Amino acid sequence: MNINVFGKQGCSTCKQMHDKVVHYIDKWGLNGKISVNYIDTETVDGMAEGAFNDIMEVPTVIIEKDGENVVRYDGGVADSRHLQLRLKEMGIVDND
């Protein structure tokens, strides 16, 4: 499972969003189960990935499971309880 955080250089909100998601994953003990990736939409590869995923604003967070986008947050991510609930629904988070 991957969590992709789309952002751009100089966007402090994008950096904070990535750090926030990394913190949640670490706090919930999911480092081996979930990979958190930062995709810079100002690079060639990032632009291509952004176009493929229809990224219109940053930060955008996409949770990908088994190669499919299953959860998307445009403009950021919901609070930790909502993210935890979504991961729980997917069978990833066991604890409260």
- 69 Cβ partners below 8 Å, 6+ apart? 53, 62, 63
Residues 34 and 13: their CA atoms lie apart, in Å, by 22
- How many domains does one find in the chain? 1
User: How do residues 21-72 score in pLDDT, each as one tens digit?
Assistant: 999 999 999 998 999 999 999 999 999 999 999 999 999 999 999 989 999 9
Tell me the residue range of the domain where 67 lies: 2-89
Residues 65 and 68: their CA atoms lie apart, in Å, by 5
Examine residue 50 and state whether it is found in any structural domain, yes or no: yes
pTM: 0.90
Examine residue 94 and state whether it is found in any structural domain, yes or no: no
Examine residue 45 and state whether it is found in any structural domain, yes or no: yes
Alpha helices in 8-57 (DSSP H): 12-27, 44-52
Q: Which helix (H) or strand (E) holds 88?
A: helix 80-89
User: How do residues 8-17 score in pLDDT, each as one tens digit?
Assistant: 999 999 999 9
Report the CATH number that the domain containing residue 54 is assigned in CATH. 3.40.30.10
